[in-house]
Amino acid sequence: MTAKRKHSIRGKLTGIIMVTSTTAVLLTCLGFTVSGLLNLQKRLIADLSTIAHVVGSNSTAALTFGDRQAAREVLNALRAKPSIIAAGIYTARGEPFARYEPNASISIPATLMEDGFHERNDRLELYYAIHLDHQRLGTLYIATDTRDRNVRLKEYGEIAAGIVLFSLFVAFVLAAGLQRGISRPIVELARVARLVSQHKNYSMRAGRRLANNGDEISNLITGFNGMLAEIEQRDHKLLLYQTQLEETVACRTAELTYANEELLTAKNTAERIAEINAQLARESALILNSATDGILGVGLDNRVTFMNPAATQMLGMTLSELKEKSIHEAIHHSHADGTPWPESDCANTLAMRRGQSFKVTDQHFWRLDGTSFPVEYSSKPMLDEDGNQLGSVVIFRDVTERRAIERLKSEFVSTVSHELRTPLTSIRGALGLLGSGLLGSIGEKGQRMLEIAVSNTDRLVRLINDILDLERIGSGKVEIARSPVDANTVMVQALEGLQSMADEAGVRLTHVPAAGALWGDSDRIIQTLTNLLGNAIKFSPPDTTVTLTGVAGQTHFAFCVADQGRGIPDEKLDTIFERFSQIDASDSRDKGGSGLGLAICQSIVSAHGGRIWAESNRPSGSRFQFTIPLANSFVAATESESPAATAHQNGDAPSILVVEDDLDLARVMTTALQSHGIRTLHATRGSEAVQLCRQHQPSLIVLDLTLPDVDGFAVVSALRESPALAHIPLLVYSALDVGSADQPRLHLGHTEFLTKSRCSMADFEGHVIRLLELATSDTEGAQHVA
Amino acid sequence: MSHKQLLVIDDESDIREVVKLSLQLTEDWTVMTANGGAAGMALALSTEPDAILLDVMMPDMDGPSTLRVLQRQGATRSIPVIFLTAKVQAADRQKFMQLGVWGIIPKPFDPLTLGQQIKDVLSWP
């Protein structure tokens, strides 16, 4: 408390006032005392000097005359001055002359001291020289008591102390009153500040009453209050901000909550998608595992990276066993007959190299135990999202059973056909002989019945033939032997075959010649034309015309057979190509058709990669049209069946003209070359060869020397006449050895000679491929081989 | 027109009979028949006919096998052989022709024109 008091503003102010006033009083008292003392001393000295002067003057005579009495009397006069405690007159020699010693205890000194005042032993002594006419007569000694002066000094001190004490009291009382004017506002201020800081209540104000006198404290209070107001205002604003902030925060929180919910929803969705993906992955795995087809994933290094259980089971090897070699070496190394299969011809290799899909239907895969099985397989490049090739997928199917079933079916049809035909042969023969009348005459009705029996036997035979035909073409058993076919030639041949039938029916056959080099099987095209023309004649009334026309399009040639018969109802135009489809139920009986003719036509045209359709021929009759690919388009019907066939589509692939009149050999040669992705053209005659060269400018010509029309020498000389053809590389592939004398006559571009009997088909293929490579590097020269 | 001798080899007796009757009635040829490859071979060796009509699908020894045997025998090598067959597919025809037959006549045949067909194949007048 004391310490607090001591440090309180009131204590400090009181202290300051008291110290200040006390110091002032003390200094004043000290001043007065010193001044009084000095005055006392001065007066003492002045009194002593005056007395000494008077006594000195009065004693000159006594000294001059040595009158001691007179000197004593002079000294005795000092009795008037009680402060003089001793006095004496000394001769010039310093001997005491007269004495004044009122107090017996105090005597004058025996020896003189220097002139002037000396203070000692509570007395002030004066040695005064006595002169007369500038002649020193002696010395006067006077001593005055200074104790009086000291008493006075003590009195002064006591008075001063009293004054100080009193003034201290007064100052305290005054200070206590005065300091309140200063300290109260400050204390108030402090109190308010404390309250404010304690309660954080900024609406409080320090006493405004105290702040009205305009001094610094009031300024301070005003400032303090202003500050409080400011704080309060800020507080208010702060509160406002806080409220706003809270609102904003609430708003943001709501937004965040919403966003959070959305995130949660998104997360849930993502999780669901992930779940679905996982499900899909599981399903995919399940599908892969459950698939009955073998599925192999092949990397860019041609090594298998994935195989499904069906593949494992079919190939009889595990993935690790399969991985040891490239896929081709592991399962595709040989043909069914065991001859090696070069990897470069493998469909998978081609799929990888060309980035194209290939489908193969007639090859074999090999198991680990060395056995093989027939497969259909497809190889498809595996691409990522950016189209980069990652490898390939091979999907294969063991077709052993299917092949067996197909064989059985084919054998069955063939056998049934034969077995039906055999009794029919007897029936037909017997009926024919009966009907001929050679075995004796039969009545008219009997004759008529025999004719019915014969015609129906013939119909039954046709039906059997057609069923056999349809089965064989439909199942692909009958190979479509493609070669360049002249459209007009087949049209003329078909018309010739049907002329007699048309004559019988009284129907005119007209033909508008049209040019077109087809790519197909001429026998089958003629069969189709014959069928359509036969139908047209059958369904045409006498004196009408059946017209055969043709037109070459961009890729296909379209044949059109138009008649003026009764036509086909629109609703039957599409179904007419179905088996046993007849416009009228009585047709087959009346017209002797099997109901399979158009179905066979459709099979043949489809096998060629063409299209067949029927339309009404206004104003009467119908029009049957079908298309066959043109030789220069090479869009073969088997385009995805083998790598070679697909290569036909590739316009950049080299093309080779095979000039060979032996159709079987030509087929073997073209098939072999096509397996290398080489496009082939085929000519059986020399003139045809020259024409095809002009049309297609092949990269290489394979030439047989013996041809039906002109020989190989003539073909070469004809080609030499055309600058564009004179430098085509040539491989003379002949049964004959060409003598060195004849060789120059056969030179075209780079020319080589092969003798058929001395080389295998593999040698032939090797030569062709090497020549094609040479052709691209544009080397010329001649070389005799074999 | 000289008198011709024909040998018909077919396992079906009905067909043998019809063929024989047809040719006898229309062409006035001597027709011998055999019911299989072995019997036909024996008959061919003993009678050396002017031509042989040979069925393709027969039990035991089929047409092509019989043909090979005939071709191996000096006495029968030069006798023209015509297949009389129910196998009429183009591929079959081509294969048969390569075996060295003179011609192929499909079954069923028209009994009235069978003789003419044979004459066409063999270029007989």
Which is nearest to A517 in space by CA: A478, A490, A480? A490
pLDDT of res. A626: 94
CB–CB of A475/A406 below 8 Å?
yes
* Sign of the torsion formed by the C-alpha atoms of B23, B25, B27 and B30: positive
Q: In the predicted model, is pLDDT for residue A584 greater than 80?
A: no
Q: What are the residues whose beta carbons fall under 8 Å from the beta carbon of A269, sequence distance 6 or more?
A: none
Q: Which H or E element spans position A509? A: strand A508-511
Look at A368-377, A559-568, A651-660, A698-707 and tell me which has the smallest mean pLDDT.
A651-660
Residues of chain A with pLDDT > 70, as a percent, come to: 91
**Minimal C-alpha gap between B10 and chain A (Å):** 10
Interface of B with A in 83-122 (CB under 8 A): 86-91, 107-112
Pick among B15, B17, B33, B55 to test the A interface (most A CBs inside 10 A): B15
Please indicate, yes or no, whether residues A165 and A27 belong to a single structural domain of this protein: yes
Residue-wise pLDDT for A536-560, tens only, equals 998 899 999 999 999 888 888 999 9
ipTM, 2 dp:
0.84
Quote the pLDDT of residue A395: 92
Which residues are CB-contacts of A59 (< 8 A; sequence separation ≥ 6)?
A70, A71, A74, A75, A89, A98, A130, A138, A140
Predicted confidence at residue A758, as pLDDT, reads: 67
Whether the per-residue pLDDT at A84 is higher than 60: the answer is: yes
- Name the band, by pLDDT with cuts 50, 70 and 90, for residue A635: very low
A41 and A165 in a single domain? The answer is: yes
Q: Which of A414, A421, A432 sits opposite B112 (nearest CB)?
A: A432
Beta strands in A571-718, from DSSP E residues, in sequence order: 612-616, 622-629, 655-659, 679-683, 700-703
Residues A515, A458 within the same domain: no
Please, are residues A393 and A298 in contact by the beta-carbon 8 Å criterion? Answer: yes
Residues with Cβ within 8 Å of residue A527, at least 6 apart in sequence: A600, A601, A604
Note whether B1 contacts A: Cβ–Cβ < 8 A.
Answer: no
For residues A191-200, give the mean pLDDT: 83
Rounded to the nearest 10 degrees, how much is the dihedral formed by the CA atoms of A316, A320, A324, A329?
30
If you search the block for the tokens 């001395």, which residue do you land on?
A: A758
pLDDT grade, residue B39 (50/70/90)?
A: very high
The better pLDDT of the pair A208, A713 is held by: A713
- CA atoms of A785 and A728, how far apart (whole Å): 18
Least confident of A481-485, A647-651, B23-27: A647-651
In a domain, A238, yes or no: no
A756 has pLDDT over 80: no
Give the residue from B27, B28, B57, B92 with the most A CB atoms within 10 Å of its CB, the best one to mutate: B57
Indicate yes or no: CB of B18 within 8 angstroms of CB of A423.
Answer: no
On whether residue A90 sits in a domain, the answer given is yes
Whether residues A570 and A675 fall in one domain:
no
Q: What is the mean pLDDT of residues A476-504?
A: 85
Instruction: Say which of A425, A433, A468 has its CB closest to residue B108.
Output: A425
Whole-number average pLDDT of chain B: 89
For residues A525 and A670, membership in a common domain is answered with: no
CB contact under 8 A, B88 and A465: yes
Could you give the percent of chain A with pLDDT greater than 90? 8
Inter-residue long-range contacts of A93-97, CB under 8 Å, 24+ positions, other chains counted? A94/A139, A97/A62, A97/A63, A97/A68, A97/A71, A97/A138
Separation CA B118–CA A233 (nearest Å): 134
Summarize the confidence of residues A263-277 as an average pLDDT: 89
Contact A421 B107 (CB under 8 A): yes
Q: CB under 8 Å to A237, separation ≥6 — which residues?
A: none
Residue A95 lies in a domain: yes
- Per-residue pLDDT for A785 more than 80? no
**What are the C-alpha distances in Å from A632 to residues A491, A649, A681, A729, A730?**
20, 11, 9, 20, 21
Per-residue pLDDT, B34: 94
Tell me which DSSP letter residue A108 carries.
-
Burial of A590: CB neighbours in 10 Å, binned 0-12, 13-18, 19+: exposed
Assess whether pLDDT exceeds 60 at residue A652.
no
Domain-wise residue ranges, chain B: 5-122
- Which residues from A are below 8 Å from B22, CB to CB? 429, 432-433
The pLDDT mean for chain A works out to: 82
User: Which pLDDT value is given to residue A779?
Assistant: 38
Check pLDDT > 60 for residue A694: yes
Put simply, the answer to whether B108 touches A461 (Cβ < 8 Å) is yes
Last residue of a domain, one of A127, A143, A169: A169
Name the more confident of A98 and A785. A98
CATH of residue A377's domain is 3.30.450.20
Residue A527 three-state SS? helix
Same domain, A52 and A92: yes
Same domain, yes or no: A446 and A511: no
User: How far is Cα A735 from Cα A737, in angstroms, rounded to an integer?
Assistant: 7
Query: Taking residues A212-220, what's their average pLDDT?
Result: 74
pLDDT exceeds cutoff 70 at A587 = no
A460 touching B, CB under 8 A? no
Digit-coded pLDDT (tens) for A19-51: 888 888 888 888 888 888 888 888 888 888 888
- Whether A436 sits inside 8 A of B110 (CB atoms) is no
Q: Contact, A548 vs A495, CB < 8 A?
A: yes
HEC assignment per residue over A357-411: CEEEEEEEEECCCCCEEEEEEEEEEEECCCCCEEEEEEEEEECHHHHHHHHHHHH
Residue A432 structural domain: 417-474
pLDDT tens digits for range A45-75: 888 888 888 888 888 888 888 888 888 888 8
Q: Write the CATH number for A749.
A: 3.40.50.2300
Q: 0.90 exceeded by the pTM?
A: no
Query: What integer pLDDT is reported at residue B101 of this predicted model?
Result: 92
Q: Pick the closest to residue A728 from A756, A752, A764, A709 (CA basis).
A: A752
A412 lies in a domain? no
Q: What's the average model confidence in pLDDT over A221-232?
A: 81
Contact flag B15-A422 (C-beta cutoff 8 Å): yes
Partners of residue A304 on adjacent β-strands: A298
* Out of A7-11, A150-154, A369-373, A525-529, least confident range: A7-11
Closest in B26, B86, B91 to A422, CB measured: B86
Mean pLDDT is lowest, of A334-348, A384-398, A506-520, A611-625, for A334-348
- Looking at A629, A658, A682, the residue that finishes a domain is A629
- Are A515 and A620 contained in the same domain? yes
- What's the burial of A274, exposed, middle or buried (CB within 10 Å: 0-12/13-18/19+)? exposed
Residue A482 corresponds to which tokens in the numbers above? 């493609």
**Residue B100: how many CB atoms within 10 A of its CB?**
13
Is the alpha carbon torsion for B32, B34, B37, B38 positive or negative?
negative
B12 to A417: CB separation less than 8 angstroms, yes or no? no
Q: In what order do the strands lie in the sheet with A372-383?
A: A304-307, A294-299, A389-398, A372-383, A358-366
Q: What share of chain B is helix, strand, coil (3-state, %, to 5)?
A: 45, 20, 35
What one-letter code names the amino acid at A228? L
Residue-wise pLDDT tens digits, A247-264: 888 888 888 888 888 888
Q: How confident is the model at residue A475 (pLDDT cuts 50, 70, 90)?
A: low
Q: Is the peptide bond between B108 and the residue preceding it cis, with omega within 30 degrees of 0? A: yes
Residue with the bigger pLDDT between B67 and A123: it is B67
pLDDT of residue A562: 92
CA distance A367 to A318: 11
Residue A687 lies inside a defined structural domain of this protein: yes
Are the C-beta atoms of A97 and A91 separated by less than 8 Å? yes
- Residue A600 burial (C-beta neighbours within 10 Å; 0-12, 13-18, 19+): buried
Checking DSSP bridges between strand A730-734 and strand A700-703, what pairing results, if any? parallel
The stretch A306-326 carries a mean pLDDT of 88
Which pLDDT belongs to residue B67?
93
Specify the amino acid at residue B16.
R
Evaluate if residue B1 carries a pLDDT over 60: no
**CATH number reported for the structural domain that contains residue A596 in this entry:** 3.30.565.10
Domain tally, chain A: 5
Q: Tell me, yes or no, if A422 comes closer than 8 A to chain B by beta carbon.
A: yes
Is A33 exposed, middle or buried (CB count within 10 Å of its CB: 0-12, 13-18, 19+)?
Answer: middle
Of A418, A426, A436, the CB nearest to B112: A436
Dihedrals phi, psi of A630, to nearest 5 degrees: -80, 150
Q: Using the beta-carbon criterion (under 8 Å), do B18 and A425 form an inter-chain contact? A: yes
Residue A299 Rama label (left phi>0; alpha psi -120 to 50; beta): beta
Q: Smallest CA–CA separation between A374 and chain B, in Å? A: 24
* Tokens 């599409």, residue located: A574
Residues A703-734 as b or e (16 or more Cβ within 10 Å = b)? bbbebeeeebbbbbebbeeeeebeebbbbbbb
Q: Point out the residue among A428, A433, A472 whose CB comes nearest to the CB of B108.
A: A428
B5-122 has which CATH code? 3.40.50.2300
Q: Which residue has the tokens 């004849």?
A: A742
pLDDT of amino acid A647 = 34
In a domain, A269, yes or no: no
The verdict on a CB contact (< 8 Å) between B18 and A468 is no
Q: At what angle do helices A147-199 and A216-290 cross, to 10 degrees?
A: 30
Name every residue whose Cβ is closer than 8 Å to that of residue A197 and which is 6 or more positions away in sequence: none
Q: Which one is predicted more confidently, A643 or A455?
A: A455
Closest CA to A75 of A59, A92, A63: A59
Asked if residue A616 is part of any domain, the answer here is yes
Mention every residue, 6+ apart, whose C-beta is less than 8 A from residue A205: A192, A225, A228
Burial label, A537 (beta-carbon count in 10 A; 0-12, 13-18, 19+): buried
pLDDT at residue A529 above 90? Answer: yes
The C-alpha atoms of residue A248 and residue A357 are separated, in whole angstroms, by 63
- Rounded to 5 degrees, what angle do the CA atoms A373, A375, A381 make? 135
Residue A245 located in a structural domain: no
User: Which of A371, A398, A425 lies at the terminal end of a domain, its last residue?
Assistant: A398
Beta-ladder partners of A702: A658, A731
Q: How many CB atoms lie within 10 A of CB A1?
A: 6
Range 466-525 of A in CB contact (< 8 A) with B:
468, 472, 478-479, 523
Q: What is the dihedral of CA A771, A654, A627, A475, to 10 degrees?
A: 70
pLDDT band of residue A645 (cuts 50, 70, 90) is very low
Please state at what angle helix B63-72 crosses helix B90-99, rounded to 10 degrees.
20
Peptide bond into A619 cis (omega under 30): yes
Q: Which of A184-193, A372-381, A507-516 has the lowest mean pLDDT?
A: A184-193
pLDDT band at A246 (very low <50, low <70, confident <90, very high): confident
Amino acid (one-letter) located at A199? H
Cβ-based neighbours of A64, under 8 Å, separated by 6 or more:
A132, A137
**A561 pLDDT more than 90:** yes
Average pLDDT over residues A511-529: 88
Q: Are residues A621 and A737 in the same domain?
A: no
What phi, psi does A147 have (nearest 5°)? -65, -30
Task: Return d(Cα A670, Cα A689) in angstroms, integer.
Answer: 15
Q: Indicate if the pLDDT at residue A1 is higher than 50.
A: no
